[in-house]
Amino acid sequence: AQLHRAGHAFELIAAGPIAGLPTHHWPDRVAALGLAGRVRFLGLVPEDARGDVLASADVFVHASHSEGLPNAVLEAAAAGLPVVATAVGALPEMFPPTDEAPALVPPRDPAALAAALGPLIVDPRRRAAAATAWHDWVVRHCAPAIVAERIAAVYEHLLDRAAPGSGVTPPQPAGAARVPACIGQPSVPVHQSTGVTR
């Protein structure tokens, strides 16, 4: 609503489950805010259509009140979208603010969310720079091979701690053979998800 009052032209596409009110109440809430015609509710989007939803967007918004590490943010960034997200869960540790990407905003702070979105809505160059920054970060830190290496390193560290002479003996059932930890590159499909705006 704050973006609308500031004169920004946009369409909000809400994809995925929306918490708080039952789904049938959302259109009334949107109309009460003067946003009828600017907001579309897609609900749960089938996996094979999620890429199209992301491709239709200019900016991805993830305004969660609590999260661990939302895959939706990583997937949107990997798809080449600039992201505006709330500073919840692991996001503040993973995405420090840069000149190219807006800082994460506090949860439950519509003014901060609008302030981060406004410049991205009106400035295509800023949008492109933010998209590149988010995308490059995800590629450098979250590619499957990199994640697999990090997981393997954790297992190696744990096995080293339990190595002979370390003083740590891992519990093993009688007759169990010790199997080395082998982690290859996972083959996991990317699932695009919620909170797209343009």
108 vs 4, which has greater pLDDT?
108
Does residue 29 surpass a pLDDT of 50? Answer: yes
pTM of the model: 0.74
In this prediction, residue 169 has a pLDDT band, given cuts at 50, 70 and 90, of low
What is residue 59's predicted lDDT score, i.e. its pLDDT?
96
Q: What is the mean pLDDT of residues 157-185?
A: 57
Q: Domain count of the chain?
A: 1
CATH of the domain at 91: 3.40.50.2000
DSSP, res 24: G
Is residue 153 in a domain?
A: no
Name the residue with higher pLDDT: 187 or 40. 40
Residue 124 has pLDDT above 80, yes or no: yes
156: left (phi over 0), alpha (psi -120 to 50) or beta: alpha
pLDDT (0 to 100) of residue 180? 37
Is residue 25 over pLDDT 60? yes
Asked whether the predicted pLDDT for residue 96 surpasses 80, the reply is no
Asked, for residue 30, whether it belongs to a domain, the answer is yes
Q: Considering the domain boundaries, does residue 168 fall inside one?
A: no
Comparing CA positions, the residue from 12, 41, 19, 44 lying closest to residue 28 is 41
CB within 8 A of 1, min separation 6: which ones? 33, 34, 35, 110
Q: Which domain holds residue 22?
A: 2-143+191-197
